[in-house]
Amino acid sequence: MKCKFLLTIAMVLLFVSGATSSYSQTTATITARPGDTVCANTPVRFRATTTDTAAHRFSWRVNGLIVGTPAPTFTTTTLANGDTVWCYVTDTTGTTIIDTSNYIVMTVNPNVAPSIIAGGDSVCLGHSLTLMDSVSGGVWSSSNPASLTISSTGVVTAVAPGMYRVTYKITTGSCADSVRLRIRVDAPASALVSPGIVCMDSVFFLTDSARGGVWNSSDTTIAAIVVPFGVFQGVAPGTATISYNLANSCGTYAETATVTVVNCDTPIGVSVPNVAAHLSDLSIYPNPSTGAFAVTYNTNDQQAADVTISNLLGQQVAAITLTPNKEYVWQSGLASGVYFMTLHTASKTTTEKIIINR
């Protein structure tokens, strides 16, 4: 009888052991990424692993309070220094605790965030600007120290025009945070350099050392705006005033230049009677040229002819004498531009336009 009883007890124990064998060797371990030392507000992901393959549920705790879901992972951004994290491994119903994981005590370093940078976002070339941040202890830096310098106290000095980035960074232990500000370095407007006289239908350009201004023409029927960045076209003969208006950290500017548009097919102040009839009397090659022309006076007349060269204003800039039917190489020495070569004889006047492109 005693043997029978012992056998029965052994069978019961064997049954109970078989019923719980899938959990008997369970060992839970949790890990933290990026680690147990982080900066404030940094996302930390905890993962639980077990030494068996049976189905489990996980009950996460932070300082003993239930958090997260019954999943093998738990992520949070609200940990404080000294918070303790662990989890319980339970059966699939969540009612029976099978194992308790290791404990992770978090070290959370403060992350001091700087405020918005104050003091301005533009400065004139050669001048200084003092930047400020309400949170002290940070370090100032410039994206281009050669063009925009900045001192340890936030004083920026403009060296070259352009757009630059200033950074204010605060580091606390291993934690860092920063704010940025774009600084524009302005330049004063410069006096406009006028092309003076331009041909009708030609395109001409005006520039200013300072960008961002507005271009205008006093008479768009004479000089029209082609592109609103200083590109104009001569439309009809006349005089127009080109203006450039600019306001920046350097000041307010209104620069002007006068442009005269002429019909380059007819020289100003030069009488050209019977030009069409005598156009073949004067042969010029090459035209345009870099300054040297082969000029021939074609005629049955044996008398030499005087030739004058004038600019667009009708001002004489040179004179030569041509022997009939003989090529004459003229080294002009004139600057690039449009000129008029006029041949004078007792009976006729012949004018040809010449172009010099050096």
- 24-109 and 279-356 share one CATH topology? yes
What pTM does this model have? 0.56
Of the ranges 57-61, 162-166, 333-337, which one carries the lowest mean pLDDT score? Answer: 333-337
What confidence tens digit (pLDDT) does each residue in 65-121 have? 999 999 999 999 999 999 999 999 999 888 889 999 999 999 998 888 899 999 999
Q: What is the CATH number of domain 122-186?
A: 2.60.40.1080
User: Which residues have CB under 8 Å from 59's CB, separation 6+?
Assistant: 66, 70, 87, 88, 90, 94, 97
pLDDT at 11 over 80: no
In the structure, what pLDDT confidence band is assigned to residue 25 with cuts at 50, 70 and 90?
A: low
> Where does 197-262 sit in CATH, by number?
2.60.40.1080
> Tokens standing for 128?
């200084």
Structure confidence at residue 202 (pLDDT): 79
Instruction: Using the predicted structure, report yes or no on whether residue 9 has a pLDDT greater than 60.
Output: no
The distance from CA 140 to its chain's CA centroid, rounded to whole angstroms, is 22
Q: How does residue 272 score in pLDDT terms, banded at 50, 70 and 90?
A: very low
Domain ranges of the chain: 24-109, 122-186, 197-262, 279-356
A 10 A CB-CB count for 196 gives 13
> What fold characterizes domain 24-109?
Immunoglobulin-like (2.60.40)
The yes/no answer on whether domain 279-356 falls in CATH 2.60.40.3080 is yes
Query: What pLDDT shows up at residue 266?
Result: 61
pLDDT digits (tens, 9 = 90+) for 307-330: 999 987 778 999 999 988 888 999
Question: What pLDDT score does 311 carry?
Answer: 86
Tokens of 150: 């900045």
Contact between 174 and 112 (Cβ < 8 Å): no
